[in-house]
Chains A and B, each alone.
Chain A
Amino acid sequence: MPATLAMHMSDGLLDAPASVLFLVIGGVGVLLALVRARGALDDRTAPMAGLVAAFIFAVQMLNFPVLPGVSGHLLGGALAAILVGPWVGALCIAIVLVVQALVFADGGLSALGANVTNLALIGTAVGFLVALGLRGLVRKGRGGLVATAFVAAFASTVVASLGFVAEYAIGGDPAFDLGTIATTVVGVHCLIGIGEGIITALTVGAIAAVRPDLVYLLRGERRPLEVSA
């Protein structure tokens, strides 16, 4: 059985004060996302957000090889941010993580706050900010959008893994050299980030080709057709 490195943190990696600290941070972040997303979630879009969450959940089941014996799975932060925007995206991923912990025992209950902080908050925020920063590229057409999605997904994965390193520095076991941990974790996530980037880019490209109205990042980009006599 190949070892899967990119999975949710289990109990016991962080000590109790850090676990509680990140439960609070994650909770406050999700609440903020909820407040900001509320305007966008009406009786039509809230069920659709449920669908996006289910989609992210299903996509996270997808494993791809990064090194012999090590496989990673998609985290989906950048994908969610590009498709439904940062607030709804963060909310969806947080709900995915809560359900995974409660229903599927994936990720420790005490590590839920840290997982939400890394994947739902940091992953989505970084993915969206990078995509926003590359807006000029997005305007250049489909190739630009695909390239932006790749860079955003790569950055989001690597920065989310830095979130783990920061959490480990706060509440992890001091037996290990933090530098070694950081190099290993960030190194593996650079490889995962490439896979994440390719899949995110091709997925966003395929969706934008058929239904550009479903890509949040493209909103307001398309000028209406001009009809001239």
Chain B
Amino acid sequence: MNPLHRPGDSPVHRLPAQVKIVGALAFVLCVVATDRTAYWAFGAYLAVLAAVWVVAAIPPGWMAKRALIETPFVVLALAAPFLGGGPETEVLGVSVSVSGLLAGWNIVAKGTIGVLASLTLAATTTPRDLVVGLQRLRTPSVVVTIATLMLRYLEVIVAEARRMRLARISRGHDPRFLWQVGATARGIGTLFLSSYERGERVHLAMVSRGYAGALPDTGGPARPLSWLSGLVPAATAAVVLVGTL
């Protein structure tokens, strides 16, 4: 279900999830706070991420392929130089707005590094561990329960939707453009009902196996050494950020 996770046994993979979540968030906030004209800083952030990939044994090409989910924002950024106002400059013989050019660069640079940081987190941590990490960060138990069961049910629902679609198509349904909306929506209604009724059965099964309202906490506290080593990328980013001021 999760094509973003890359199983491994590197120090980055073994780091407790709560450390990685805090580290990734702090890192991204540093990137977003950086002045967009401090061009070298973005190179430094990329170098920090590349160092993490080396430790985690993730090939850069593997990352690049998955970073394509950011494409819509790159399209937006490429349009920016033509939409911005103010003084203009010439790039390759085309007159573009200076502030628009900078704004486009800002979105591409920060968006790309942000998505790469998120991908690094997702690649080195299983979905289950991410939820455990949230649990260790004192997330309320109801939220942990909902998130855990959501991840478990997601696969079931997506598989069920795929079977329903196959069943429709094998009965001669040929959905195109807008006309598929009716069948899709009715399918969603049926999907909700069948998943809900399955959920009711699963709940009874959970209760009969001793479920009393809270999921067990399977994580452990992170050692100070884990925190120290895990926050090195974020700390480096903070140093770079201070250096740009």
Contacts and interface: CB of A to CB of B under 8 A. Distances in A.
B238 interface: no
Contacts of B122: 102-105
B153 A206 contact: no
Contact of A110 (B28, B189, B199, B213): B28
Contact of B32 (A57, A110, A176): A110
Contacts, number: 241
Interface stretch (B53-61, B166-174, B177-185): B177-185
A11 B151 contact: no
A122 to B, nearest CB: 20
B150 A95 contact: yes
A136 B214 CA distance: 39
A214 B107 CA distance: 42
A24 interface: no
A204 B4 CA distance: 33
Given A11-B31, A16-B29, A54-B157, A1 B71 contact: yes
A180 to B, nearest CB: 7
Interface residues of A, number: 73
B28 A47 contact: no
A101 B107 CA distance: 18
Interface stretch (A35-43, A123-131, A158-166): A35-43
Given A16-B29, A46-B213, A199-B184, A7 B203 contact: no
Given A47-B202, A102-B130, A55 B192 contact: yes
Given A13-B107, A109-B28, A58 B158 contact: yes
* Most chain B beta-carbon neighbours within 10 Å: one of A99, A174, A195: A99
Contacts of B99: 173-175
The B contact surface, by secondary structure, is helix
A24 to B, nearest CB: 13
A214 B84 CA distance: 49
Residue with the highest number of chain A CB atoms closer than 10 Å, among B72, B127, B178, B181: B72
B145 A50 contact: yes
Interface string B25-50: 10011011100000000000000000
A50 B115 contact: no
Given A11-B31, A50-B147, A101 B118 contact: yes
A59 B160 CA distance: 12
Interface in B1-45: 2, 4, 21, 24-25, 28-29, 31-33
A214 B199 CA distance: 13
B85 A55 contact: no
Interface of B: 2, 4, 21, 24-25, 28-29, 31-33, 66, 69-73, 75, 80, 83-86, 97, 99-100, 102-103, 106-111, 113-115, 117-119, 121-122, 127, 130-131, 134, 140, 142-143, 145-154, 156-158, 161, 177-178, 181-182, 184-186, 188-193, 195-196, 199-200, 202-203, 206-207, 211-213
21 contacts: A3-B75, A10-B111, A10-B114, A11-B28, A12-B110, A13-B107, A20-B29, A43-B211, A43-B213, A49-B142, A51-B153, A91-B142, A91-B146, A102-B121, A109-B24, A109-B25, A110-B28, A175-B99, A202-B186, A207-B189, A214-B192
Given A58-B161, A99-B127, 18 more contacts: A10-B115, A43-B211, A46-B149, A47-B206, A50-B149, A54-B151, A54-B156, A59-B188, A62-B184, A103-B4, A103-B122, A110-B114, A111-B114, A176-B100, A203-B189, A206-B185, A206-B193, A207-B193
Interface of A: 1, 3-5, 7, 10-16, 19-20, 34, 37-38, 41-44, 46-51, 53-55, 57-59, 61-62, 64-65, 83, 91-92, 95-96, 98-99, 101-106, 108-111, 173-177, 180, 195, 198-199, 201-207, 210-211, 214
